A and B are shown apart, each in its own frame.
Chain A
Amino acid sequence: MIKAILIFNNHGKPRLSKFYEHYNEDIEQQIIRETFHLVSKRDENVCNFLEGGMLIGGSDYKLIYRHYATLYFVFCVDSSESELGILDLIQVFVETLDKCFENVCELDLIFHVDKVHNILAEMVMGGMVLETNMNEIITQVDAQNKMEKSEVRLTLPVHYFYLSVYQAGQVDTGRYCRSACSCRISCKEHEPPGNAQKHQHW
């Protein structure tokens, strides 16, 4: 069983935290801090498994993590899960995010945390692995997003031509990113031309 899934950046700021067992809010924050502390100490070329986190439960639990550029993806699992399998699952998760957000980067996760939750809900349910096929997951997520949008469409029948500007999971305020990257989110890094700074993609 997966006890928790955490995504945080190199400075320890949480980008996603999903707990499959109930803890108090302050305990949750403590777990995030402790996990960050343990994981950030690790070298680049050591193995991806960690033991010895105190708070999230004694000897049966391991932390399985992967570090991608500025983000750590950490799964806290018990012995009923295969360690290598979870490593592969993290990979599938990241690839799915990449497909859904098109060259996903940390800012995507920041501004669309609810969508990340929706994607995760198609992969892991109740602490158990639900679906591992990337295409299947993406199909379902797209269908659900379409449903949501169709509801909105119903309330504004006249102006649906604005909706054509929509992409799945993205908002376009009319300003395209002027920098060299293909990110289509309006983010503060890409303010009016001249200040374009490239943000990190991975």
Chain B
Amino acid sequence: MYFYNVNELYRAMSPSVPLQEMIRAIRSARTQCEERGVIQRECAAIRAQFRQADNGGRSHNLAKLLYVHMLGYPAHFGQMECVRMIASPRYSEKRVGYLGAMMLLDEKQDASLLITNSIKNDLSHSNQYVQSLALCTLACMGSAEMCRDLAPEIDRLLRASNSYIKKKAALCAVHIVRKVHDLGELFVPAARSLLAEKNHGVLHGAVVLIIELCERNPETLERFRKTVPDLVQIMKGLVLSGYSPEHDVAGISDPFLQVRILRLLRILGRNNEGASDAMNDLLAQVATNTDSTKTVGNAVLYETVLTVLDIKSESGLRVLAVNILGRFLLNNDRNIRYIAMTSLQKIVGTDHNAVQRHRGTIVDCLKDQDASVKRRALELSLALVSASNIRSMMKELLLFLSSCPAELKAHAASGIFNAAERYAPSQRWHIDTILHVLTTAGGDVRDETVPNLIQLITNASELHCYTVHKLYRALLTDISQQSLVQVACWCIGEYGDLLLRGECQETEAVQVTEDDVLDALETVLQSHMSSPATRGFALTATMKLSTRITDNVDRIRSIVSIYGSCIDVELQQRAVEYNALFKKYDHMRAAVLERMPVIEKNSSGHTNGETTGEAIKDIQPAKVKQGELLLPPQPANQVCDLLDLLGGSDETLQPSPAVGAPVPGLLINTASIAGGDLLDLLGVLEPAPLAPVLTAPTVPVYEKDGVTLTLSCEKQSDTGLTVTLTASNSTESDISSFTLQAAVPKSVQLHMKAPSGDSLPARGTAKVTQMVVLNNPNKVSLKMRVRISYTSQGSAFQDTVQIDSFPGLDAAGQ
């Protein structure tokens, strides 16, 4: 009778044998391709097996499939099989089925709904292990609907079952509360009663559940505050109980439970005097009695420290806690140092002075080999920088920056900038620091560093000489760091005369000739390492120097004309504009390329010229429509000249795909960085509002009975014109149903846009604007008749006005 086919026997005896054979086969494959072949064959066999109605080896097949899934191959065809297995009465099949459900199903799959019923049945199964399977699966992948369905079952299990099931039910309840927040209320009473249990597993689960409930709902938190004495009692029992073999881990009684309870105490004691008082003694006891030579002891101590620092503890206890952290910092074990710094980070806001005491150790950790420790030390050092220690800290941080790992460089650089900005003891120090950062980590700084630095430099007017000398020297050594090169070019362009003068108070004088400077700029222009933006900077700087140097203007001219045929469109455009400046508008060149005024940070005003009174043109942001006029705030008689000027200059410029009517005023935007940082630089933040509000003159065309109508117009193209009519009401009563109608000569096309509104409140508090677009292809003399109608104080008014002359156009209406 024992002559059985051994293989059959094995297969029936243990579900794992065929799995092992398959694993063996997979491992013996020598290449990835072979492995894939084996797996495909196995999967095909498994699929065939699944299709058969009933065979003894179902669980093996699913186990094999799960193994294949772990290796990364698709296994979704096993989902229905999981559902079937879960419904089977046999424990071995259920087990594999539930495991499969956890690995292959999630709430997005339809099949997961099918197992809800099975789980429900299994939750009330007589066998506790079947129950536990169901609980485990529900906690892992239960969807919101499933949770809602089964929550009452879980509550029942929380109250009346053995401790094995209770602890699993508790964690399942946590999952339910996470998925469906409202169900938290359901579990509060059960959670409360679980605290009286003796079994540590159940206690642990109960504490986790209570933590979750308290974090979700502040009212629940209030209710659970009453449990603080019970929790304190439990902790005391654990700490003082002496040796208990079943819970002992390296001399400490159930450290996991202790840590959990401490965390709950922290949540309950936060911002609450009464609860905090109740725990003070206990925390002191734990802090002093726990053995810190082993990792478990340190885990408990660490949690205690965090709790002490988070609740309203008395000052003696706080000092004790910070001292413990200080001890951790000096520990040899890197893990301990790491978590010490993590916890110091949490309290650096509130107990700043206490943490400052350990600054030395923290700064030393910057030099540690471990990247994680370095990261923590960097965060903490940046938080500890203050006005009193800025110089020494900055030295350390700059040292760190030169040797830090690549992933931390950007963060370190921006942290240093912030610190420097807040606490810089002097402007020169500030500029030095930024330059230092740019030379060491120039590639990792953010884009707005360049305009910020430029703004800083212009503000420090007495340091211009020093700055430009330093930057020039930096430029000579290294032109690979783009941010540095951009700033250097800008400064040389701007303050080139100071550079050439040679003398400087703050740094040793170096004789620089004009040729040297132009050589340096040309190197930047021609180098492969320079980005297009950098070359733009260099070209503009070269141009600016034409007014600041005396001898080599021809050289500049030739450089500029060479770039007139550059492939880069931006450079080409600039070069051509500068060429035009040389040729046709030489008389304006000095005015155009004058020194820039002090830039105000983040000023949103459009005009910068007001601050210095120099003839700097009003700057419009780069996005200017072709042909749109930029009229500087100059006397009106020059206006027409300028219009002709600009009209004429259209022909000399090559058409460029870039948007932008070439206007000399735009040349001022020398530090134009691609993408609009320009706007920040010059304090103009918004993109161009197309209506030139400050520049087009408005003319009143109608005034009667308190209603005023003003007109302004804007030439869009040779034949197109946009007229803006603005109405306001200076009477004491509101006007409603205000409408404007316009009529023009026959050949002119008219298009009225929607008015901004139709009511004019009293005393001119708000205006109504109406835009009218006119097209005058035959260039006839432009006239417009406007009819105004409105209702005031119950009666209707109507009036007509003829407009014969439009401001900004000459008599011919052009």
Contact = CB atoms under 8 A, between A and B. Distances in A.
Given A16-B70, A163-B13, A173-B10, A47 B373 contact: yes
A130 B99 contact: no
A159 B338 contact: no
B392 interface: no
B561 interface: no
Interface core residue of A45, A110, A111, A125 (most chain B CB under 10 Å): A125
Interface string A109-151: 0111111011001000111111111011000100110011001
Given A114-B99, A126-B172, A132 B337 contact: no
B96 A47 contact: no
B70 A152 contact: no
A191 to B, nearest CB: 12
B127 A147 contact: yes
Nearest to B302: A84
Contact of B175 (A50, A126, A131): A126
Contacts of A133: 200-201, 246-247, 254
A20 interface: yes
Interface core residue of A16, A130, A136 (most chain B CB under 10 Å): A130
Contact of B204 (A82, A111, A129): A129
A19 B788 CA distance: 73
Nearest to A22: B106
Interface stretch (A68-76, A85-93, A193-201): A85-93
Contacts of A188: 24, 27-28
Given A126-B140, A130-B171, A82 B303 contact: yes
B129 A82 contact: no
A127 B139 CA distance: 9
A129 B256 contact: yes
A158 B164 contact: no
A147 B89 CA distance: 13
Interface residues of A, number: 63
A8 to B, nearest CB: 11
A121 to B, nearest CB: 5
A151 B200 CA distance: 32
Interface in B152-183: 164, 167-168, 171-172, 174-175
Given A129-B204, A159-B9, A188-B28, A151 B92 contact: yes
A48 interface: yes
Nearest to B375: A51
A125 B140 contact: yes
Interface string A12-29: 001011001010011011
A59 to B, nearest CB: 11
A111 B99 CA distance: 16
Given A83-B339, A155-B12, A117 B99 contact: yes
Contacts of B92: 148, 151-152
Contacts of A176: none
A82 B303 CA distance: 8
A55 interface: no
Contacts of B298: 84
B91 A130 contact: no
A16 B69 CA distance: 11
B140 A25 contact: no
A186 B208 CA distance: 42
A140 B67 contact: no
Contacts of B373: 46-47
B201 A88 contact: no
Interface residues of B, number: 82
Interface stretch (B14-22, B477-485, B587-595, B633-641): B14-22
Given A17-B70, A46-B372, A84-B335, A125 B136 contact: yes
A130 B70 contact: no
B256 A132 contact: yes
A85 B164 contact: no
A84 to B, nearest CB: 4
A159 B69 CA distance: 35
A89 to B, nearest CB: 7
B91 A47 contact: no
A180 interface: no
B338 A110 contact: no
Contacts of A50: 372
A57 interface: no
A152 B4 contact: no
Contact of B139 (A125, A136, A144, A163): A125
A17 B68 CA distance: 12
A156 B13 contact: yes
B425 interface: no
Nearest to A29: B72
A118 B303 CA distance: 30
A140 B127 CA distance: 13
B71 interface: yes
A60 interface: no
Contact of B259 (A82, A111, A148): A82
Nearest to B141: A22
A132 B655 CA distance: 76
Contacts of A113: 66-67, 70
Contacts of A88: 249, 255-256, 295-296, 299
B70 A148 contact: no
A171 interface: yes
B407 interface: yes
A45 B369 CA distance: 10
Contacts of A192: none
A184 B15 CA distance: 18
B797 interface: no
B127 A156 contact: no
A160 to B, nearest CB: 10
Interface in B697-752: none
B99 A148 contact: no
Given A159-B4, A171-B14, A85 B256 contact: yes
B78 interface: no
A158 B1 contact: yes
A126 B171 contact: yes
Contacts of A156: 9, 12-13
Interface core residue of A29, A129, A158 (most chain B CB under 10 Å): A129
A102 B96 CA distance: 23
A83 B254 CA distance: 16
A89 B369 contact: no
A22 B10 CA distance: 36
B174 A126 contact: yes
A82 B302 contact: yes
Interface string A157-190: 0110011001000010100000000000000100
A88 B249 CA distance: 9
Interface of B: 1-2, 4, 9-10, 12-17, 19-20, 23-24, 27-28, 63, 66-67, 69-72, 74-75, 90-92, 95-96, 99, 106-108, 127, 129, 135-136, 139-141, 164, 167-168, 171-172, 174-175, 200-201, 204-205, 208, 246-247, 249, 254-256, 259, 263, 295-296, 298-299, 302-303, 333-335, 337-339, 342, 369-373, 375, 407
Given A85-B255, A111-B20, A156-B12, 18 more contacts: A25-B72, A25-B75, A49-B338, A85-B303, A87-B335, A88-B249, A88-B295, A114-B16, A125-B136, A125-B139, A126-B171, A129-B204, A130-B171, A131-B201, A148-B95, A162-B13, A171-B10, A188-B24
23 contacts: A22-B108, A25-B72, A49-B339, A50-B372, A51-B372, A52-B375, A83-B338, A83-B342, A85-B299, A87-B295, A87-B335, A88-B256, A113-B67, A114-B16, A125-B168, A126-B175, A127-B140, A140-B164, A147-B127, A147-B129, A151-B90, A166-B13, A171-B14
Interchain residue pairs A-B with the least CB separation, the first 5: A126-B139, A84-B299, A22-B106, A47-B334, A46-B370
